[in-house]
Amino acid sequence: MSQTEVWMCYGCCCGVAAVDVRHRPRREPLDRIRTAMEVRLREGGLGDVRIQKTGCLGPCSKGNMVVVHRPGVEAHVFQGVNNQRVGVDVADFAMDMERRGWGSEVPASLDPHVYGTVAADEVPPPPSPEPYKDRH
């Protein structure tokens, strides 16, 4: 069974498909991005990598926020995961992390989406999506 998890923010702002007041590009619905990620993981033989809905991962202005985490390994936080292409790149990184553990490098295609990392011993549990379940 896979140890790597992907946490997708389903908080109040992430996943909103409308153009914002600054006319930034539309975001694809999170469920569509998630489905593309699940397909990629299955194709890569790692369909058991868990993609978990969470509450707000913040910061909302950088959404859609996604975290790739494996116990004992630093967590990688990605911003602007707003379409299937970026979601598939995150899934590829999650597969690499599952196979390699320490030493996984973020691919160049995700460089613009790197928000940061969290040390392995400082990764909190993911926030509950419960307050937002009726919004998405």
Structure confidence by residue, pLDDT tens digits, 76-88 = 999 999 999 999 9
Q: Quick check: 64 and 33 in contact, CB under 8 A?
A: yes
Q: How far apart are CA 126 and CA 79, in angstroms?
A: 16
Q: Quick check: 68 and 123 in contact, CB under 8 A?
A: no
Structure confidence by residue, pLDDT tens digits, 37-61 = 999 999 999 888 889 988 888 888 8
- Spell out a b/e string for 102-111, using b for 16 or more CB atoms within 10 Å of the CB, else e: eebebeeebe
Angle at the Cα of 100 (from 6 to 58), degrees rounded to 5?
25
Catalogue all structural domains in the chain, each as residue range(s) with its CATH number.
Answer: 5-132 (3.40.30)
Q: Quick check: 90 and 66 in contact, CB under 8 A?
A: yes
Encoded tokens for 11:
């908080």
Q: What separation, in Å, do the N-terminal and C-terminal C-alpha atoms of the chain show?
A: 29
- The pTM assigned to this predicted structure is 0.85
pLDDT score for 132: 46
pLDDT score for 130: 57
